[in-house]
Amino acid sequence: MQLVFLQPARIFDMMNNTTKAAFGRFDYDALNISAKKMKALEESAADIKALGRRSTQQAYDLGVLLEKASELVEPGTFEKWVAQRCDISSKTARNYRSVARNLEAYRERAIELAISPTVLFHLASASEDKVEAALAHAEEHGGIRVSEVKALLSDASEETPKAVTSVELADVGGLSGLRALIDVKTKSGVAAFIESSAVLVAEVSKILDSKPEGKRLQKTLLIPVLEPLARAAKRSLGNILLLDVPGDIDVRKISERELSSASHWHKVFQTLDHLGNRESWPEVKRLEAWLQKEVLPLLDWATSRTKQPEWPLAAPAPERQTHVIGHEAASFEASDDEDEALAPYEPPAMFAGIGGGLGCDVSNVLSFGSAEGRTGLRTPKSLMRKPAEAS
């Protein structure tokens, strides 16, 4: 094989052509942007494209990246650059930058409550007391919708209707009152489940992270920590699935009529039920893998804010079936071994006794037993009883 060595000038020309092709969507030279800034902007564009814009965390991170990129170019130039290199409109970029600038103090709370980016856009221009009120509403009801934040941020001169409490809803009749009451109970139940699951996940993660390398988990140390937390999470989930009122009494087992045992939510409920009962825990050598590969992924799936999150567990392997060619496989059911399932045994004619109910002519039947009392048969002389001698 012949090796071809390129001159340094040729290598530089190839790199320059590749760079021009990659940056062809935005003309940095026409705007007198230095090579150093061009490199920084392209790195920002790559980070922005790889980030996405779905979760609360990503919304904050995107706002920070856009803020840093805006400092490298003039205001008018930045809007053109972000549209051509990042596929983000100037209005959307402005919203994310406002979130990063104005809501940084509320970052951790907003991420914990999973506030949507659209809600953050509205809160970015709100006063501090309005932001606090919105976050308090989200903490109380397990989230806040765009319509709710718009009503909260409306002009104070507009009289906002008074929120109806669950106590007042208890006296509201009709299907509308019932649906509203169920909605309140569901929101409070979801919030309780999210909170209890978060505490459980934190404890399980802490236990796994603090375990010494090469050592096994000790059930005696985990039982007083994980059992009550799992029971609380199971109770919260059961209250949601059964539309029950949250309380201190553990919910009953969910039957097949209420939730199919093949459903994913039944698997979550069953796993919490097992975690809350030490007798259902796997053996020590499998305990760590169970917590890491089943319990934590299931709780993450159950509390995910993503629409239709992917099921974290592998599908069970189908049962292996034995195929028999030419005839059906023998059945091994218990009924096959029961005596009453068998027909009465009838011996062959040659072994049957006289009057055995065979329905055949007894003269044609051979007998190897006693011949006394049978007509048509001669008794051997050696077997005949001798008459008693006269005294």
Domain residue extents for the chain: 26-151, 176-302
Place of tokens 């009453």: 340
Contact at 8 Å (CB) between 308 and 320? no
In angstroms, the Cα distances linking 281 to 149, 210, 312 are 44, 20, 20
Contact at 8 Å (CB) between 180 and 247? no
Contact at 8 Å (CB) between 62 and 72? no
Contact at 8 Å (CB) between 81 and 26? yes
Single pTM value for the model: 0.41
CA atoms within 13 A on the CB side of 208: 15
Look at residue 324 in the predicted model and tell me its pLDDT.
44
Look at residue 82 in the predicted model and tell me its pLDDT.
87
Beta-strand runs (E) in 144-198: none
- Residuewise pLDDT in 10s, the chain (391 residues): 454 444 544 544 444 444 443 444 688 888 888 889 899 999 988 998 888 667 899 999 999 999 999 888 887 788 889 888 888 888 888 999 999 999 999 999 999 999 999 999 999 988 888 899 899 888 888 888 888 888 888 753 344 344 455 555 556 777 777 777 777 777 777 888 888 899 899 999 999 988 888 889 988 889 999 999 999 898 888 877 775 444 444 455 677 667 788 889 889 999 999 999 999 999 999 999 999 999 999 999 998 877 788 898 887 666 555 444 444 444 434 433 444 444 455 555 554 554 444 444 444 444 444 444 445 555 555 555 555 554 4
Q: What radius of gyration, in Å, describes the C-alpha atoms of the chain?
A: 41
Look at residue 177 in the predicted model and tell me its pLDDT.
72
Look at residue 334 in the predicted model and tell me its pLDDT.
41
Look at residue 271 in the predicted model and tell me its pLDDT.
93
Q: How far apart are CA 273 and CA 248, in angstroms?
A: 16
Q: How many helices (H) and strands (E) does the chain have?
A: 15, 0
Contact at 8 Å (CB) between 273 and 234? yes
Amino acid at 2: Q
Contact at 8 Å (CB) between 184 and 206? no
First to last CA, the chain: 132
SS3 assignment, position 281: coil
